Every structure is written in structure tokens, then in C-alpha cells.
Amino acid sequence: MFVALFIFLAVIGLLLFFVDRAPKRGRDIVQLAAFVAPALILLTIGLVYPAIRTILQSTTDSVGNFVGLENFAWIFTNEESLISLRNTVLWVVLTPLLSTVFGLAYAIFIDRSRGEKILKSLVFMPMAISFVGAGIIWSFMYAYRSPGFSQTGLLNQILVWLGFEPVQFLNSAPLNTVFLIVVLVWIQTGFAMVVLSASIKAIPAEQVEAARIDGASGWQVFRNVTLPGIRSSLVVVVTTITIATLKVFDIVRTMTNGNNSTSVVALDMYNQAFRFNEWGRGAALAVVIFVLVLPIVIYNVRVLRQQREIR
């Protein structure tokens, strides 16, 4: 560690030494290049090169022969891949929507209430659990045993107490995917709640008071004052959760391993690349995820830039 720190300081010292001795003419350009170049080099090594290599690999088969767009054609014609794409779309639609709605509703209900910090902590706590840990916890929640046997899963025990038959929550498609989505919603609601609660508190109290003095109802205050005031935070929350959802892997892998038609694109990518050694197909699935994430990131940047210009 100390050796690495010494090398780092030596490199920085040499860099500053040579930059300081650069000719006066064009010194600004030399300084700019000297300070920006390390970041650009690291960005190229860590991001640009792997991205280009993955795109090139997506046009090859398992032994490296060029096959053009065959891997992408396989993704959009293979029945199992289509199920994974359908499930991924379901995840991307439901998870950000439900997490944001629940987080926003909770943030509004507990705003300035007694015990607000404790109530926030209770909902935010799942954020501290890994996806694998959450998957194991909810596997116990959904656990099933045949009728007549003592149920170990909490949800099935409640059904039995109410006089219903126990249900195999993770066996019947497509509802089993919805039950998996519940796990990620449970985790992400805390994140949405914290961000939106902070944004709500940043709205000037004078605006809320003025609306109430003008006779606005609670719903009108929420629609005309609160929502416009937290718009940028809503965009950040929705896009962040959407991107996290597109990469979801751990929960599905832990709870069902993609069986019973619950697989998603990220799990397929892992299986093709690391279990079946179909590197081309794995890379093609990675490119599909990248293409799906790209518009969300661009939209996020555009909205934040517009908000900054308004201020």
C-alpha cells in the first residue's frame, strides 16, 4: 500500500515538474493535457475498450468466428430469450413505478410526523441488505409445503390461517415474476423515499402556505406545488431504479435460478457466457442491456440540464 502511494506521489510530482517547466507559449494546453490525460486513459482502459471489445465479440460465435448479427437474431427468435425479454420489460415497468409511488406516498405521509426518523429507518433498512440476502429472506417468505403439512413460509401460513390452500408462489408464470419483483420493490422503496423526502423538505414553506391561503385542497397542493418542486428528484429516482432493474440478476439467480420462466436478460447473459461458453451470445445480450440503458441515461442528463438552466 505504501509502495503504491509512493509511486502515485512520484508520478504526480514528476508530472507537475514537467508541466511547470513547459514553454510559456502553449503552457495552458500542456497543463490541460497533462491533467486530463490520466483520466482519459483510465476511462479508455476501463470503459471504452471493454465496450468496443464486447460489441465486437457479439458478432462472433463460441470459437471466435465472425457470424454477423446472428447472435442478435437468436435473441429475438429463441423462445427462452423472448421470455427473458418479456420478464425484463415487466421488471422495468413495475419496479420503478411501484417503488417510486410507494416511496413518495410514504415520504408524504410521514413528513414532519412524530417519530419520522424511526419510520424512515424502518423502510430504508432493506437498502442495507444485499440482493442475495434479500432473495434468501423472501425465499423463506414464499416457502411452500404440501397441504396438511406445517407451513414454514410466512405467507402460506397466513393463507392456511385464513382457510385457504398454500400456494407455490414461485412456480406459476408469469405471476412468479411479479412475486420476484416484489423483492426489488421492497429494497428500492427506501431509496425512493429518502430522496423524495429530502426533495419535499426543500420546497419553500411559503409556497405551500400561499397555496393553502388561496384555498387549495391537499390534492391541489400536491399536484401544483409538490410535484413540480420534486420533478428533478423524481427523474433521478425513476431512472436510477430503472437502470438497477435492467441489471437485476442476484434475486432471480438466488430464488429461482431462472426456472419456471422467470429468467431475465442479465441472467441469460451470465448463463450463456459463463455456463454454456457461448461468449458471442453473452456479449450480444450485454449489448442489448447497454442499448436499453442508454436512452434512460441520456434522458436523465437532458432533464437535469434543463432543470439547471431554469435555476
Grid-cell match 405471476, residue found:
175
Q: For residue 151, what is the DSSP state?
A: P
The pLDDT value recorded for residue 311 is 61
Q: Interhelix angle for 231-246 vs 175-201, to 10°?
A: 150
pTM of the model: 0.83
**Number of residues that make up the chain:** 311
Tell me the backbone φ, ψ of residue 148, rounded to 5 degrees: 100, -20
Bridge partners of residue 60, in order along the sequence: 66
d(CA 256, CA 263): 8
Q: Within 202-278, where are the H helices?
A: 205-213, 218-221, 227-229, 231-246, 250-255, 265-270
Ramachandran sector of residue 248 (left: φ over 0; alpha: ψ -120 to 50; beta: rest): beta
Picking from 151, 173, 175, the residue whose alpha carbon sits closest to that of residue 164 is 151
Alpha helices by DSSP H, the chain: 2-20, 27-43, 49-57, 70-75, 79-109, 116-124, 131-141, 154-161, 175-201, 205-213, 218-221, 227-229, 231-246, 250-255, 265-270, 279-310
Q: How far apart are CA 41 and CA 48, in angstroms?
A: 10
Q: Which pLDDT does position 44 carry in this prediction?
A: 92
What pLDDT, on the 0 to 100 scale, is given for residue 310? 64
pLDDT of the residue at 269:
92
Which stretches of the chain score pLDDT less than 50? none
